[in-house]
Amino acid sequence: MKKSFLILVLFFVSLVSLADEGMWMLNHIDKKTAQLMQQLGLEMPSSQLFNEHVPSLKDAIISFGGYCSGVVVSEDGLVFTNHHCGFDAIQNHSSVAHDYIKDGFVADKREDELPNPDLFVSFLIRQEDVTSRILKDIHPGMDETKRSYIVDSLSSVIENEVSEKDSLLRGVVSSYYGGNEFYLSVYKDYKDVRLVFAPPSSVGKFGGDTDNWVWPRHTGDFSVFRIYADNNNQPAFYSPQNKPFHPSYIAPISLKGYQNGTYCMTLGYPGSTDRYLSSFGIEEQMETQNQSMIDVRGIKQAIWKKAMESNDSIRIMYASKYAASSNYWKYSIGMNKAIEELNIIGKRKLLEDKITRFIEDKDEKKQLYGNLIDSLRISYESRKKLIHASSYFGECFGNASELLSLSTQAISTDFFSDSIAGRKIYESMVKEYSNISLSIDKEVLVAMLKEYREKVDTTFLPDTYKTIDEKYKGDCQAYADYIFSHSEMTTPRGLERIYSRDSTFNMFEDPILSLAVDVVTKFVDFYQIGADANNKISRDERFYSEIVRQMCEDKSFYPDANSTMRLSFGVVTPYSANSSSGIDYSTTTKGIFEKVERYKGDSDFWVQPALLNLLSKKDFGKYADKKGEMNVCFITNNDITGGNSGSAMFNGRGELIGLAFDGNWEGMSSNLEYESALQRCIGVDIRYVLFIIEKYGKAPHLIQELKLAQ
C-alpha cells in the first residue's frame, strides 16, 4: 500500500511541478509557482500583476464579449483582440458594396469608428472567496437537487449585493474544483465598443480551415476596437456624445521580439477545462458531445459552404456562423484523435485504481465516499443512450436550423415581465432575419431531420416524426416544404404577432412553432429522464475532484478554467509534430509566399496582390527582427484553451509581444490533460500586427496612440 501511494505522490509531483502547466488565478499564485515564474524570466513583482488597490497589469485585460479575451493598449481605449473574436462585428458591418471581411476596414478618424450595439467588454475589479457563505448550510449527504438550489440561491444573493451597492458593477459567483469552492468576481462592463481596424481575411484568416489548429501558422489573427464611455469615464450605452475610455493601466508593446527560451505569460479568460474529470466522463464526452458535433456540423457546414462559394451575399451572411461552427467541429475531431492516441482514458483509469485504494485504506474516507469509482461507472452507464440521443438532439435541433432556433426562442421567452428587456430581446431576434437564407435553412432542416432519425433509437424521436411518417409518408423534404410555405415565422411578421400579443394568431397552429413546441417538450423529457443519474454524477465528480487534491494536499493545484481571468506561463520554444522536420519557434512572411504557391487556387490561401507586393519589398522598418525579416507567428508552451483567443502574450517585463489565437492539433486533448511535450499556444507577433496597421492599412494615427517599448 505504501508503495502504491508513493507512486501516486510521484505522479502528482510531476503533474503540478511543470512550469508551463496551469491556468492560475492571479491572486492565488503561491510562493513556489511565483519562484518558477521568476526562474523562467518574470521580472515583475506579483503586486504589478494583480492588485485590487492600485493599477496593475490585470487592469489592461478584458473579457471581450464574454467569449474571448483582449488587451487595452492606449490611453484612448484601443483594444487588441483576435480577428476571429471580432468577426461577428466585421460581418455585421459588411455588405457586397463594403466587403470588410474580404477587404478589411480602417477608421481614418474617430467619427468613422463603427458601433456594435450587442458587444461589450468587461474589466475585473476584484475577487473574493465566498465558499464559506455558499456552503454554510450544506452538509454531507444532502440531496444534490437541494444542494444545487442552495448554491444557486445564495450565489444570486451575493451577486445582487454587488449591483445593489453599485449599479455599474456586476457580480458573478463561479464554481471551482468541481463545486468544492466558490469565488465572487466583480466586473465593470462597457457597452459602447466600436470597430476601428480589421485586416482583410487574407491576413486575419489566412490558411482558413486547412491551417486551423496547425503549426506552422502565418495568420495575422487580430482586430482593433475602441471602448467609449460617458463624460465621467463610466459605462454607457452607445451615444455620439460618448468619449474614448481612459483606462487605469495600458499594456506597453515591445518591438524587441523574443528568442528561443524567452519567458511568456498569457492573461485572459479561458472558457472551460475538465482536467479533474473521471475516465467515464471523458469517454462519454468523446462518444456523444464530440461525435455528434463531428457528424452533424460536417453536414450543416457542407450545405453552407456550397452556398457561400456561389454567392458573395451569402458568403458575407454566413461567414461568421460558418467560422464559429467549423472551429469546434475540427477541434472535436482533433480531441477524439488525441484522446485515443495518447491513451487519456487508460491513464485516468490507472489514477482511479489508485483513488479506490486510497479510499479503502482510510476508514473515514470509505465512510464518506463509499465505492466512488463504481458509483460513477454505474451512473454514466445508466444514462449512456440518453446522453447519446440528447447530444445529437442538441446539434440537430438546437444548433442547426436558424428559423427553428428563433421559433424555439420565441415560445420560450417571456417578453412581458420586463418590458425593457423583452423589447431588447425582440429587437435582437428581428435582426437575425437579415442573416438567414430561407432556402439554405430549409435544406439544413431537412438534413437534420434525416440525420437525427438515423443516429438515435426510435424511443428518442419527437412526435413530429409521426407526423412526417403519417402525413408526408416519411418524406422530410415534403414536410419542410410545407413548413416554409405556411409558417408566419419565415418573416419578422410572425415574431411581431407574438410580441404584440395578436389574439388572432394561434401560434401553436403555425407549423414551425408546432415543431418548436415538440423540440422544447423533448428537451424537457431528456432532462427529467436523466435527472437522477445527472445528480449522482454531479455529486461523485465533485468528490472525485476533492479526493485528487486530498491525496497530494501539500502540492499546488490550479482550478479548471471557468471563464474567469487566468494567467498561464511558459517559454517560446521550437515545435514540430514531426521532430525530423526541424520547425522553428516562429514563422516569417516567407512562409506566406510558399503557401500561396503551394495552395494555388485554394481560397484559404488567396492574398491580395497589393499585400503580396508590400511584403515582397521587405520594407519592414522598426518591425523587422534582427535579420531584417518580418515574423508573423510564434509558438510557446503556455497552457491555454477556448476563450483565451485574443489573450495578451507578455514578456517578463509585462510588455506585449503577441496575441494568442490557437492551439496545436497534437494537443487537442489539453482540456482533459496537459501534455507538456505536445501542448502549445500559437500567437500572432505584435510587430506583424503593427506593420499591417501602419503599412498596409495606412493607419499611422493608431500607432501613435500606442506605448511602444524600444
Cβ–Cβ < 8 Å for 239, 611: no
Distance, CA of 26 to CA of 450 (rounded, Å): 48
Q: Which of 104, 97, 101 is nearest to 88 (CA)?
A: 101
Angle at 333 between CA 327 and CA 334, to 5 degrees: 90
Distance, CA of 223 to CA of 87 (rounded, Å): 9
Q: Which of 184, 189, 190 is nearest to 171 (CA)?
A: 184
Q: Residue 483 CA to chain centroid, in angstroms?
A: 34
Residues across the chain: 710
3-state secondary structure of 219: coil
Active site residues: 84, 221, 645
The CB density around residue 441, as the number of other CB atoms within 10 Å, is 21
- Contacts within 8 Å (CB) and 24+ apart, 590-596: 590/629, 591/216, 591/218, 591/632, 592/206, 592/218, 592/632, 595/206, 595/207, 595/218
Distance, CA of 521 to CA of 507 (rounded, Å): 16
Cβ–Cβ < 8 Å for 405, 428: no
Find the helix packing angle between 511-551 and 476-486, rounded to 10°.
Answer: 110
Distance, CA of 213 to CA of 666 (rounded, Å): 9
Cis peptide bond upstream of 216, omega within 30:
yes
Task: Please compute, for residue 498, the number of CA atoms within 13 A of its CA located in the half-sphere on the CB side.
Answer: 28
Cβ–Cβ < 8 Å for 329, 655: no
3-state secondary structure of 497: helix
Element counts in the chain: helices (H) and strands (E)? 27, 20
The H or E element spanning position 626 is none
